[in-house]
Structure 1
């Protein structure tokens, strides 16, 4: 029998537990809300029955549409009910989002981790980890083949899940590059908090060389505040003089969901517009 969409009340739907992708209230979300208000939801959500509950469902695909529907005041949404177990649903959640154009490092990190855990459990129950010629495959290799990445790159992304949230946010905001961030993921949580404090105090982030040395100190049990300060106080070859503006002074002028990178880009654009105006005013004299 063909599976057909069914209208399900909003209060009976729940986000997938451990959903690794962020649903942001941005311009794209506002556009989706307006579209739903005008045309409704054109593409049904995909959901699965929640375990040990009656008439409740977990979203597998369609978290953004669900959020937009809630904000648009929609009472029920069309959905396809698919009988997936937890692991199959986790894999589907990841695979249905990895094609997106813009994916944050943190999203990819937790997505790969979620899929690896699900595949590992499935591999214990089946021949899933064998390729067509019978060669044993690692779960990282399976994920890499499907995402067009090497198995080592998959492992590097998963390493990022060991970063404390404020440092992982800095990776998403491109304030810390990917490769140094992987090295920093080997620091203990308390060492990462010390590093965060040092970065805020010195207004700088570690280079790859500095991150590697901090990792080595941590592994050897020699990580101290004094060692950290000595390494972070080194002047980098590419360090340049900067204008420093405390975030709290300008936060009120930007949308709540703006990152520091977005604020910086907006400020630069305003400066460019101001410069052009000054040139026009000068030429008009």
Structure 2
């Protein structure tokens, strides 16, 4: 099934060459000189009889689940999904061309990359942070401790030499933190403390975890399993805050998904082209959050935790290999 955009009251079909260009260079902003054209490029949709007439296609339409969506999966992303005709180690049958759908590709991705915590950090000193590579599916955890009453949260996004994105999520104790100071801490984690930012901290018996903060590089929030994955993560880890990186959508499509999630605090940033996009989700019964500044490349927020009501820390078995 082909893909299209709606411009000048008609559907314009996108050929394979254009889709491949997006996959190779997802940061390209098409139509940036024309607001209407740029908006059209941000709403690519499967071309069906309905979308050809209506200029769009609701996310509930089956075409989103049965049409393979190659522009959601960039060429350099890892691990790459197996091509048609090959088998994954956990797939019971060979996936033929006719078997491919967004649902089957989604299932294959979950089999290749289980949704498990790969790194854990504690906010015990002045600051802590983690790095997220935009092309890798990763789930990471930061825990505050009982002595932490408030902190400043920042996200910083930069472009790599491969024309992809890297995200730093940093926490600093206290709330009197200037935006420039927070930005400098983010760059610090991306450079001089890069090795430490990739390490996992072991649990210390004297530490009393207070709140979980999950950071999930979802690599497209429109994938079929995204909403159920958020619900599962919420039930398993009871996070007060979830930072979702690489949402890759904005506007009404993002709004439809966000309204279905079990979080009443929401702040989002837009993608850069087809990559990036950060969703900051929080539970208002657990934290008060004030977003002071936000752009496509950074967020600066003040977080004040409520009285301790921590339900428990993740089972050590979830931190496999760490």
TM-score normalised by L of structure 1: 0.26
| Larger strand fraction of residues | 2
Higher CA-based Rg:
1
Higher percent of residues as helix: 1
